[in-house]
Structure 1
Amino acid sequence: MLKQSARPLADILVIDDTPENLALLSQMLTEKGYKVRSVTKGSSGIRGAQAVPPDLILLDVKMPQMDGYEVCHQLKADQRTKDIPVIFISALGDVFDKIKAFQAGGVDYITKPFQVEEVLARLNTHLTIGKLQQQLQKQNLQLQQEIAQRAAAEETFAKAFRSCPNPIAMATVAEGFFLEVNTSFLQMSGYSREEIIGRSITEINLESASAIYNQVVQKSLQNGFVRNQEFQFLTKSGTVKTILLSVEIIELAGKQCTLSIMNDITERKRLENEFISLVSHELRTPMTSMMGALDLLSSGKLGTLTEQGQQVLSIATNNTERLIRLVNDILDLERMKSGKITMQPTYCDLSLLLTQARETMQTMADRADVQLELESCSVEVFVDPDRILQTLTNLLSNAIKFSDANSKIWLRTKVLNNFCQIEVQDQGRGIPADKLQTIFERFQQVDASDSRKKGGTGLGLTICRHIIEHHGGKIWVESNFGQGSTFYLTLPLSEQKILCL
């Protein structure tokens, strides 16, 4: 079995009209691991180099028909061979001969009689230089391609930026100075580009809007982006527009910047407000009349119904009550979002609110055979008591609905640093992990049939979230499916004495 030969160190082409020199160089280089091709004529050497370009050429100066200088000139004039390093070998040691060799395009000059070590050393040097040059050319080509790709990407981004129908602005994170805005932004704001660039958002906007913008930037720094934050923008003419603001943190010239994309929803908000007004006047009034008529029927003053009639009446009453709750929740939520329902905070004892919430829900708990446990602290908070009571009763109502008979629900208060934490813990069926992040969104329920079976609207937790966030707090849930859930909410503390009961 033949042993596979090692890969040669390099391909060397030797051009010399003296056979003895060719034989010596071929033997010497072959023994050192180089692949050697030998020719005795300059024209043959040129054709060989063009057909299969070598890594380096050893070229004799004095040759018949075509000397080494002419051979080198032709090699350097050809695109295929111009980058091949050429080392001249000659008995001519005059400085003029060497200069002529370098002018022809040679990279080095060895005088005969040559030393083997010298030839090998210079050969290795120029092969190394050649490889480094090839690597450099490859890197330069790659860099040029990357630059071209980046330039193309920047041009694409610039075109999209300029032509995007949504207002877009770029600003520095540290100072909030506008760096660039698109045409849509200028049209929405009413400002010219010269009036915007270099100014900060606090200079041209409402104080409250600037505070919201700063909060959005801080959230973006934590998460990398923020999506669809409602925001009030003051135009040059003094008109306030409602926009949805999405912010992403980007880097420009080593600086952290914000890329803000806006969606003007002013008209949509106007239509929403009209819808709320329509629902308020055109739906609630007839539903209230329907409820009164059903109550009158159930009282028996209009005659006695059969057992089947009573069942139909009960179904109608339950569905009407559910529809009224749904309409009221929709109106409540939309008014909160639009700012039409303002909080009326006052200093109050949180333990009294928790006690009132338990007493309010006690009848419902008794019907469900569920025990309510209260563990509270006397903590003074600056809140809207009606809205906090609405939140607590909503959470307790949900806990009761999804708890089995003979189970317990705990309503607790804890003081943590500068805020208090309220917990509503049940032993119910729990919430699947994939629902924990969406349970506070509109019409999101663990089971789609819950709204029918439990009488819920799917908006209660959304309303709770808005109430707590308006108070500067947070609300979330932790749950193990099948083992119960715990809803947590936090409220800032007023600087008063705290007494745990």
Structure 2
Amino acid sequence: MPTQLFNSPKADILVIDDTPENLNLLSAMLTEQGYKVRSVTKGSTGLRGANAVPPDLILLDVNMPEMNGYEVCQQLKTSDRTRDIPVIFISALGDVLDKVKAFAVGGVDYITKPFQLEEVLARIENHLTIRNLQKQLQAQNQQLQQEIRDRTKAEEKFAKVFRSSPNPIAIATISETRLLDVNPSFLKMSGYNVDEVIGHTVTEVDLGKNTVAIAQTIQRLPESGSLYNLEFEFSTKSAELKTILLSIELIDLAGVPCALLIANDITERKRLENEFISLVSHELRTPLTSTMGALDLLGSGQLGTLTAQGQKVLSIATNNTERLIRLVNDILDLERMKSGKIFMRKAKCNAAELLITATEAMQAMADKLQVKLIVNPVAVELWADADRLLQTFTNLLSNAIKFSEPGDTVWIGATLSENQSIEPQADAPSYLLITFRDEGRGIPEDKLQIIFERFQQVDASDSRNKGGTGLGLAICRNIVQQHNGKIWVQSALGEGSTFYVLLPLADSN
């Protein structure tokens, strides 16, 4: 049995010739080479067959009764269904004019009888290859056109959102922070007109005391990646101060790396929030202090002896009241720091002494939870508020201990570090890098960016189970920033966390 019956034919070829001998010869020859062959003796029949099931190629005799090959080819080329089928003319006529006419009506080649097998096969294969390449090119062009349409649609959608968004939006280049476009909401918030903004750098526009910080954040975007809800102070053209949350995305515009800046004006929200916090905090402190005093009085036994159940209820009430008092104090502390109402009393202090003091202060807690503390301090001088740094160190140690398991170890280390600021200074180390490493449960990746925000915790139940307020790390960050330092964390789930505190040495201030 011939192999072509088991395999798909190489191509579908329609042969139109009024001479049966030629048809039989071509059919046998092409079938043997693996082609599917359809043979007809009339031009009109060939046209119907080509329209019904378009072949991959047509071999067409010139001289036929009723309708010659030229007329057949002309009709094939007028139909959308058959116009792209390659047509090879076969004729005994050797006149050059006949060949010219064959190409003029749309033929792709011309074979003169008597033909050679190798020549016919070579020409068929060449034109089938060309046709396949054309189909691939057409498919690629269609795909490209669709991609262009999709991109154009996406750009139109983006432009519509960009213009109509109530959020102020700007686009700036990464390299120079030059503003390429801003939306109407940005102009409304800032008070500038288009000419005063477009083409100017962020620093030239002067958006307030945070202008340089915003520009530096944009330029570091390729390394840092997308940033969300960074709080900045924004100054309008009329010098009105606003508080904004700024999100920055890295985008590509015609091959140019750019930053998409989306602002959220939270000025009014901050004002209401501060008023609410201040009101609630102050109104809560007096009754909580009174409640705590009453609970202490009950616990002392001066009002009578409580049953075991009563002691348990009293203990729960005391713990919850203490947590509420810590929460109120933390809220007031954080708000005072952020508003600048707490003055940092900086002086030269010894880093080793602070770390040892913090470790000693947390030793009782560590012993109770069966956690080992190992401290390796460095005796260098810092220009700092010792009490505030001690508050930071004990808070970080407390977290490390609370989230460790019995038998775990917490390491407190310190090393001299090269300057990690944007503008390098002397060769000598000018920073102290302090680390707090634990073997606890770790922090999920999606929490690493927000763990230093207010009321952000790894687990919503932490404040209940661990006695935290959700403000400790926010306070730590604020204290470190007011010492011109940095604080960050690295963590892996199930492998523990390491908190880093980078502080300038006394000589570098």
Given the two structures, how large is their TM-score scaled by the length of structure 2?
0.83
Equivalent position of 2:256 in the other structure: 255
Distance 1:319 1:156 in 2: 52
Partner of 2:223: 222
Residue in 2 aligned with 1:49? 50
Pairing of 1:173-322 with structure 2 (within 5 A): 173-206=174-207, 208-218=209-219, 220-288=221-289, 304-308=302-306, 319-322=320-323
Percent identity between matched residues is 63
Deviation track 1:389-424 (CA, whole Å, cap 9, x = no partner) reads: 211233455567788999997755433443323355
Is the 2:443–2:458 contact (alpha carbons within 8 Å) kept by the matching residues of 1?
A: no
Other structure's SS at 1:307 match: coil
Q: 1:334 maps to which residue? A: 335
Of residues 399-408 and 487-496 in structure 1, the stretch that sits farther from structure 2 once superposed is: 399-408
Change (3 A) 1:28 1:191: same
Looking at structure 2, the residues matched to 407 and 122 of structure 1 have their Cα atoms a distance apart, in angstroms, of 81
Q: Distance in 1 between matches of 2:368 and 2:37?
A: 101
**CA–CA distance in structure 1, aligned partners of residues 108 and 451 of structure 2:** 76
Quote the residue 2:476 is aligned against: 464
Distance 2:74 2:497 in 1: 87
Partner of 2:103: 102
Aligned residue in 2 for 1:70: 71
> What amino acid maps onto 1:390 in structure 2?
Q
Q: Which residue number in structure 2 is paired with residue 392 of structure 1?
A: 393
Q: Find the residue that maps to 1:124 and give its secondary structure.
A: helix
CA contact (8 A) 1:329 1:459 kept: yes
C-alpha contact (below 8 Å) 1:479/1:486 kept by paired residues: no
Q: Deviations over 1:263-291 (max 9, x none)?
A: 11000111122123323543334545556
Q: What residue is the counterpart of 2:165 in the other structure?
A: 164
Within the alignment, does 1:34 sit opposite 2:47 as a pair?
no
Distance in 1, Cα, partners of 2:401 & 2:15: 96
* SS at structure 2 position matched to 1:354: helix
Contact 1:374/1:410 (8 A) holds in 2? yes
> Which has the higher mean CA deviation after the structures are superposed, 257-266 or 443-452?
443-452
Contact 1:468–1:475 (CA<8 Å) still a contact in 2? no
Change (3 A) 1:448 1:152: closer
Q: Which amino acid aligns with 1:159?
A: K
Q: Alpha-carbon deviations, 1:124-180, whole Å to 9, x = none?
A: 221111111111111111111111111111111111211112111111000111111
Question: For 1:194 and 1:413, how far apart are their aligned partners in 2?
Answer: 51
Contact preservation (8 Å) 2:400, 2:440: no
Give distance in 1, aligned partners of 2:326 and 2:206. Answer: 39
The offset of 1:104, in angstroms, is 1.3
Q: Which amino acid aligns with 2:249?
A: E
Equivalent residue number for residue 431 of structure 1: 440
Unpaired segments ≥5 residues, structure 1 = 497-501
Shift in alpha-carbon separation, 1:399–1:66, aligned structure 2, 3 A: closer
Using the TM superposition, name which of 79-88 and 365-374 deviates more.
365-374
Q: Which residue number in structure 1 is paired with residue 21 of structure 2? A: 20
RMSD: 3.7
Q: How far 1:217 sits from its partner (Å)?
A: 2.4
Name whichever of 349-358 and 229-238 sits farther off.
349-358
Aligned equivalent of 1:421, options 404, 419, 433: 433
CA offset digits 1:434-487 (Å, max 9, x no partner) = 468476554466787775676543432332233224431225476997x99875
Over 3 Å counting, the alpha-carbon distance change for 1:108 and 1:439 in structure 2 is closer
Change (3 A) 1:355 1:260: same
Q: Within 2, Cα distance between the matches of 1:351 and 1:250?
A: 46
Q: Secondary structure at the match of 2:239?
A: coil
Secondary structure at the aligned position of 1:378 is classed as: coil
CA 1:179–1:340 in structure 2 vs 1: closer, same or farther (change >3 Å)?
farther
Alignment-mate amino acid for residue 275 of structure 1: F
Maintained 8 Å contact 1:219/1:226: no
1:280-332 CA-to-partner distances (Å, cap 9, x unmatched) read: 5433345455566777x5899xx942123996888766654443222110111
| C-alpha contact (below 8 Å) 1:431/1:479 kept by paired residues | no
Counterpart contact for 2:92–2:114, Cα < 8 Å: yes
Indicate the larger mover: 239-248 or 465-474: 465-474
Which of 487, 494, 503 pairs up with 1:474?
487
- Which structure 2 residue ranges, 5 or more long, are not aligned? 419-428
CA distance in 2: counterparts of 1:322 and 1:5, whole angstroms = 82
What is the identity, as a one-letter code, of the residue corresponding to 1:188? Answer: M
Q: Which amino acid aligns with 1:85?
A: P
Q: Give the total of aligned pairs.
A: 489
Quick one: distance in 2 between partners of 1:8 and 1:382? Answer: 86
Q: Kindly tell me: are residues 457 and 7 of structure 1, through their superposed partners in 2, closer, same or farther at Cα, counting changes over 3 Å?
A: closer
Query: What SS does the aligned partner of 1:308 have?
Result: coil
**2:213 aligned counterpart, secondary structure:** helix
Task: Provide the secondary structure at the position in 1 that maps to 2:258.
Answer: strand
Q: Is the 8 A contact 1:216 1:229 kept in 2?
A: no
What does 1:441-452 correspond to in 2, within 5 Å? Answer: 442-443=454-455
Report if the CA contact (8 A) 2:417-2:433 is conserved: yes
Residues of 2 paired with 1:27 and 1:363: CA distance? 99
After TM superposition, the structure 1 stretch with the greater mean CA deviation from structure 2, 456-465 or 394-403, is: 394-403
- The verdict on how the C-alpha distance between 1:291 and 1:51 changes in structure 2, with shifts beyond 3 A counting, is closer
Instruction: Map residues 342-361 of structure 1 onto 2, 5 A cutoff.
Output: 342-357=343-358
Deviations 1:351-396 (A, max 9, x none): 3433554566678789999997765332011222221021123345
Contact 1:179 1:197 in 2 (8 A): yes
Change over 3 Å in CA distance of 1:151–1:314 after alignment to 2 = closer
Contact 1:86 / 1:108 at 8 angstroms: preserved in 2? Answer: yes
Paired residues of 1:420 and 1:493 also in contact (CA < 8 A): yes
Could you say which residue in structure 1 is the equivalent of 2:504? 492
Check the 8 A contact 1:204/1:234 in 2, yes or no: no
User: Closer, same or farther in 2 for the Cα pair 1:59/1:480, shift >3 Å?
Assistant: closer
Moved more, 118-127 or 79-88: 118-127
1:7-38 CA distance string (max 9 Å, x none) = 22222212122222222222222222222222
What is aligned with 1:499?
Answer: none
Q: Secondary structure at the match of 1:114?
A: coil
**CA distance in 1 between partners of 2:506 and 2:124 (Å):** 85
1:381 aligns with 2:393: no
CA contact (8 A) 2:415 2:432 kept: yes
Q: Which residue of 1 aligns with 2:140?
A: 139
Displacement after TM superposition at 1:256 (Å) = 0.5
